[in-house]
Structure 1
């Protein structure tokens, strides 16, 4: 995913029913594509094959998804602004890092796939597809870039500072959460139980956010 690309996920419209229909079609096309990619391999499935299986035309498919990679990565688009929303919705008087730390620990408790702490077969298969496909990994950076930018804006609004300072802080926070999630996924994929990984994952998250607080005092 190139950093210049944007998600083509349909945006809510006034008139609700039409928007819901578009969202259902969007999700149905993506799920059809992912099922084919998991069955045959990403590189072995054409966009035309996805369109046929989803019972839409290629032009219609491309109105929903700008590229073949976006058929997979829309799941990350759903979380692009999650960190920013957590900061914005933090309790009065609370700090950005405290809110993000609590949110990550809550995700671990709930076995949220975003934290890497999920042993659901579908989640593990999806991650194998993602990290085993170079073009998907490359395109994922675009989603991370937009997540950083959204978080930087929220940090700046919450705690002030220069735009560059907020962007540098956001990059560090996003990187920490990504590394924590990847380590959890690696261990679960290797066969460790989520309960065993969870104990270490919570400690690792505590240590990571402690380091962030030390290096980013404005946001702590």
Structure 2
């Protein structure tokens, strides 16, 4: 019974996170991030300001909550990879699959709502700065997946991999934001990803356990 109550509390907590974040993002998209106060978000979500800050330590986290599930995505891909597949091969295949699925995380998504969210994110300096903290946690999780001892070589490898994923996604988003469709960008995005992972494989060969592609 205790486990059931704990599970229910956790689901309720996650639903609250989601509801507050979505309400905040809707307001930010309509009026601009800097034009909406935390107090206004709390009122719209029908919670107190102190309660909101218990869920979201910073105003920027109201937006970046959408990335929370992706913080350890690279680490999960590496840890769950098939036998005989190197970490880079697994990450490459996962990214290529994301391009085919038009996963927003790859930047290759021309859904109007996704584009509006990305414009909010990349057009707000404080959000871009806060996003680096999320990427730092992604690097740390990936380094542990590459090497449980998290040696410096694994940390360096993780930093390079996460940087490449970010650059690929940003280039895809930049082209779509400039007016191209996801279909028009897709082939170039795939080619760029393959080149990037080949370069990573050449540079990281032997630097981390199973690092080569």
Q: 2:97 matched to which residue of 1?
A: 106
* Mapped partners of 1:19, 1:88: distance in 2: 25
State whether structure 2 residue 176 is matched by structure 1 residue 175. Answer: no
1:192 alignment partner, SS class: coil
- 1:25-65 CA distance string (max 9 Å, x none): 11000000000001111111000000011111111111110
Task: Name structure 1 gaps, 5 residues minimum.
Answer: 1-11
1:78 alignment partner, SS class: helix
* Mapped partners of 2:48, 2:154: distance in 1: 43
Aligned counterpart for 1:197 among listed residues 185, 194, 197: 185
What does 1:3-42 align with in structure 2 at a 5 Å threshold? 15-42=6-33
Q: Which 4+ runs in 1 deviate beyond 4 A?
A: none
Are the aligned partners of 1:148 and 1:167 in contact in 2 as well (CA < 8 Å)?
A: yes
Q: 1:44 matched to which residue of 2?
A: 35
State whether structure 2 residue 53 is matched by structure 1 residue 65. Answer: no
Higher relative contact order (CA 8 A, sep 6+): 1
Aligned counterpart for 1:165 among listed residues 134, 153, 165: 153
- 1:159-216 CA distance string (max 9 Å, x none): x8x7110011111100001000000001111111111100100000000000011011
Aligned residues: 206
TM-score, normalised by the number of residues in structure 2:
0.93
What does 1:115-130 align with in structure 2 at a 5 Å threshold? 115-130=106-121
> Cα offset for 1:22?
1.1
Are the aligned partners of 1:124 and 1:189 in contact in 2 as well (CA < 8 Å)?
A: yes
TM-score, normalised by the number of residues in structure 1:
0.90
> Cα offset for 1:14?
6.2
* Mapped partners of 1:190, 1:14: distance in 2: 49
* Mapped partners of 1:216, 1:189: distance in 2: 32
State whether structure 2 residue 78 is matched by structure 1 residue 90. Answer: no
